[in-house]
Amino acid sequence: MTARKYNSPVLSLNSAPAGAELVVLNAFGGCEFQRKIAALGIYPGEKLEVVEHGNCGGLILKVKGSRLAMGQGMCEKIKVKVVQ
């Protein structure tokens, strides 16, 4: 198996384009924030997709086949790259 390269720029999750496959690089926040996103299945190295950008800055995400909603504040703390 060959390693994938992620040559795209680092983005916050709320800046990522809808429909693109993304890989989580890291998340900046305290213990409670880390616990919350881990419970949602969002870890460094995990792939996800932005399904839709909400009207108030939130997102609808697809993670491991499930759809979930996340607010703008949490999305700003998660850094991703587009998979190419």
| Two structure tokens written together for 57 | 């800055």
Q: Tell me the whole-structure pTM to 2 decimals.
A: 0.85
User: What domains can you pick out in the chain, each with its CATH number?
Assistant: 11-82 (2.30.30.90)
Residue-level pLDDT at 12:
93
DSSP-assigned beta bridge partners for residue 78: 27
Dist CA 83 CA 16 (whole Å): 11
Could you give the CA distance from residue 72 to residue 83 in angstroms, rounded to a whole number? Answer: 22
- Model pLDDT, residue 3: 47
Question: What are the Cα distances from residue 78, in Å, to 12, 27, 62?
Answer: 6, 4, 15
Measure the CA–CA gap between 57 and 78, rounded to whole angstroms.
Answer: 14
User: In this model, does residue 11 exceed pLDDT 60?
Assistant: yes
